[in-house]
C-alpha cells in the first residue's frame, strides 16, 4: 500500500523555505517568482522527499541496500526544490543525487541546530544585560572602573560607597 503524503503546515513550510535561503538547493534558482502582470511574489517550490516516498520499481532496484528512514514524511527527509529539479529528481532518480541531496539537507540541519544554540546563548546573555551595559558605558564614556562603580553605587549603597571611595 502506498504511503500517504503529508500535508505540511505553515510552520513546516516556513522552515523548509527558510533553510534554502530562497534558492533551489540544486540549481540555485530563486524559488520566489512573480506571475506575469502580478505584483505579488509567490513561493515556487515543491516539497521533495529525499528518500522516495513510494519508490517506483526502478527506484526500488536503485535503493537496494539503502535503509528507508523511520519517518519518511519527517522534515528531516524532505527538502524544498524548484519544480523542475523536483521532477527531474523523481523521474530520473539516481542514488548519487539522493546522496547529494542528503548531504545538502544535513548541512541545513546542522545550521539550524547551530542557530538554535546561538539563540539560546543570546537569551542567556540578555539575563546578564546590566553588566554589559556597564561595560558599554565604560567604553563609551572612557570612565575608569571606579567612577562607574561609584555612579551605580549611588542608588543602592550610597552611604557606604561614599566612605570607600577609591583613591585616584
Contacts with Zn ion, residue ranges (CB under 5 A): 24, 26-27, 82, 85
> Which residue's CB is nearer to Zn ion, number 13 or number 29?
29
> Which residue's CB is nearer to Zn ion, number 75 or number 82?
82
Smallest gap from residue 81 Cβ to Zn ion (A): 6
> What residue ranges in 20-147 does DSSP mark as E strands?
32-34, 41-43, 46-49, 78-81
Residue 101, judged by CB atoms within 10 A of its CB (0-12, 13-18, 19+), counts as buried
**Cα 56 from chain centroid?**
32
Smallest gap from residue 14 Cβ to Zn ion (A): 20
> Which residue's CB is nearer to Zn ion, number 16 or number 85?
85
Dist. CA 45–CA 79, nearest whole Å = 9
Smallest gap from residue 54 Cβ to Zn ion (A): 22
Amino acid at each position: 500500500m502506498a504511503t500517504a503524503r503529508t500535508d505540511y503546515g505553515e510552520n513546516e513550510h516556513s522552515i523548509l523555505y527558510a533553510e534554502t535561503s530562497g534558492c533551489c538547493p540544486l540549481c540555485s534558482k530563486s524559488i520566489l517568482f512573480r506571475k506575469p502582470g502580478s505584483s505579488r511574489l509567490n513561493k515556487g517550490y515543491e516539497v521533495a522527499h529525499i528518500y522516495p516516498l513510494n519508490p517506483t520499481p526502478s527506484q526500488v532496484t536503485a535503493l537496494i541496500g539503502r535503509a528507508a528512514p523511520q519517518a519518511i514524511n519527517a522534515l528531516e527527509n524532505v527538502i524544498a526544490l524548484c519544480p523542475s529539479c523536483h521532477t527531474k529528481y523523481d523521474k530520473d532518480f539516481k542514488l548519487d543525487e539522493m546522496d547529494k541531496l542528503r548531504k545538502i539537507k544535513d548541512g541545513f540541519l546542522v545550521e539550524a541546530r547551530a542557530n538554535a544554540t546561538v539563540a539560546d546563548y543570546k537569551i542567556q546573555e540578555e539575563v546578564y544585560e546590566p553588566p554589559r551595559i556597564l561595560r558599554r558605558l565604560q567604553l563609551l564614556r572612557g570612565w575608569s572602573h571606579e567612577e562607574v562603580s561609584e555612579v551605580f553605587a549611588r542608588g543602592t549603597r550610597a552611604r557606604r560607597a561614599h566612605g570607600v571611595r577609591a583613591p585616584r
